[in-house]
Amino acid sequence: MTFQQVYGYEPAVRYSAPGRVNLIGEHTDYNDGYVLPFAIDRRTVASIGQRDDRLIRVASAFEPDAVHELSLDELDPSRMQGWSAYVFGIAWALREQAGADLSDKTGLDVFIESDVPVGAGLSSSAAIECGVALAFTDLWELDLDRKTLARVGQYSENHAVGAPTGIMDQSASLLGEEDAVVFLDCRTLDTAVVDLALEANGLEVLVIDTRVEHAHATGGYKARRDSCERGAQVLGVEALRDVSVDDLPRAQELLDDETFRRVRHIVTEDQRVLDTVRTLREQGPRAIGDLLVASHASMRDDFEISVPELDLAVSTALEHGAVGARMTGGGFGGAAIALVDREARDAITTAVTSAFAAAGYREPTVFTVHAAQGARRD
C-alpha cells in the first residue's frame, strides 16, 4: 500500500527518521543523567500531502485498511487511540509544549512506512514522532530547532501516548550522525558527537531481537521510574543525576533494599556512560566491552528489567567472542546488542540462534546496524 493508493494523489514531501540503538546509558535519561545512543540505518518514512481543510488523516503500510482522522480543532489526548496517537500527538504537542499557533494551519494527509522493528527496543515510536515533527514543522513553517522538537516528541509520548519515557530516543533520532554516537546530557540537552569508528576497527553492532515484546506504557517501566523518583526524594536531590558513586554507601543506609538497587543502577550507569565516552575518545571501541557487560549485569540484577531471553543472547554472544554485549532499550523484552568482529558476525549469529532453539525460545531476529544520519527530508 502506498500514499497514492490510500489518498488518490501523490504526496508533497517525504521525511524520514531513524530508530536508535542505545550503546549504553539505560533509564538514566528521565533521571537527568547521561546517555550514549546512535541513530541506526533502519528508518520510518512519513509521506505527507497538504489539505485545504483542518483535517489530519493518518494511514500506514502496517494497517493499510484503516485511515484515522482528527481535526486540528479537536486535538486532545482523550481523542487519540492506538498507534496513530504518535502522529496526532505531535500536532497537539507542537501547540501545547512548543507554543505553536495552529489556528491558521491547514490539515495534512500522512502515510507511514517503516523498517524499524516494532517492540524490539529500537524506538520505532520515536522514529515516527521525529519524522512527523520535522515534517509538520517545515510544512507549517514553524521556527523550531531540533532540540525543541526532541522535547515535543517526548512530551507527546508522555502525555498523548501515555508512556513515561525520557528524551533520549527523540534526541538520537533527530541528532544522529554517521559512524558516531550522540553523547547527551539529559538535564541541559547539551550534546556532543563522539566518533564510534567501528568501520576502521573492523567491528559491527549486532542486534539480537528476542521478539519478546514489551510495552512502555504499562507496569514495569513506570514502577522503575517511580522508584527512582522516590529514591531522589529520600536522598534530597532534584534527580539521581545528582548522586555520585561515592554517595552510594549513604544511600544504602537511607533506602529500602529494592529502591537502593534501583538507585545504584542509575548512579553506576551514569558513570559508565562517562567512562565509555572517555574510552572511545582515548582508546577506541575495542576497549569498551567490559563497560557494556557491566551495564547488562546492573540492569539484570539491580534494575531487574532483563528477561531470560535477553540474558541468553548476551551470554551466548560473549561466549563466542563478542567484544561486549548488553540488553538495550527499556527492558522487559526487546533486543540485546553485541559488539563483534566483522569476521565473527555469522558464527555468533548461528550460536545465538542455536542457543534459543535449545532453550525452547522463539527464534530471534539477528541483524547488524550502522550508525546513521538523523531525521531528514528525503
Q: What is the per-residue pLDDT for 218?
A: 56
Lowest mean pLDDT among 15-29, 97-111, 167-181, 214-228: 214-228
Query: Is there a contact between 58 and 91 (Cβ–Cβ < 8 Å)?
Result: no
Specify the pLDDT at position 217.
Answer: 46
Arithmetic mean of pLDDT over the chain: 95
Helix then strand then coil, in percent of the chain rounded to 5, is 45, 25, 30
The candidate with the shortest Cα–Cα distance to 309, out of 233, 208, 241, 168, is 208
Taking alpha carbons only, the member of 14, 84, 13 closest to residue 45 is 14
**Predicted pLDDT of residue 329:** 85
Which of the residues are catalytic? 169
Q: How confident is the model at residue 216 (pLDDT cuts 50, 70, 90)?
A: low
What distance in Å separates the CA atoms of residue 89 and residue 72, rounded to the nearest whole number? Answer: 11
Region 334-340: mean pLDDT is 95
For residue 168, give the amino acid letter.
Answer: M
3-state secondary structure of 356: helix
Exposure string for 264-296, b = 16+ CB within 10 A, e = fewer: bbbbbbbbbbeebbebbeeebbbebbebbbbbb
Model confidence at 166, in pLDDT bands (50, 70, 90)? confident
End-to-end CA distance of the chain: 19
The per-residue pLDDT for range 248-273, each reduced to its tens digit, is: 999 999 999 999 999 999 999 999 99
Say if CB 255 and CB 263 are below 8 A apart: yes
Q: How far apart are CA 210 and CA 218, in angstroms?
A: 19
Mean pLDDT for the stretch of residues 320-343: 94
Indicate the DSSP class of residue 369: E
To which H or E segment does residue 24 belong? strand 13-24
Q: Could you identify the residue written with the cell 576497527?
A: 201
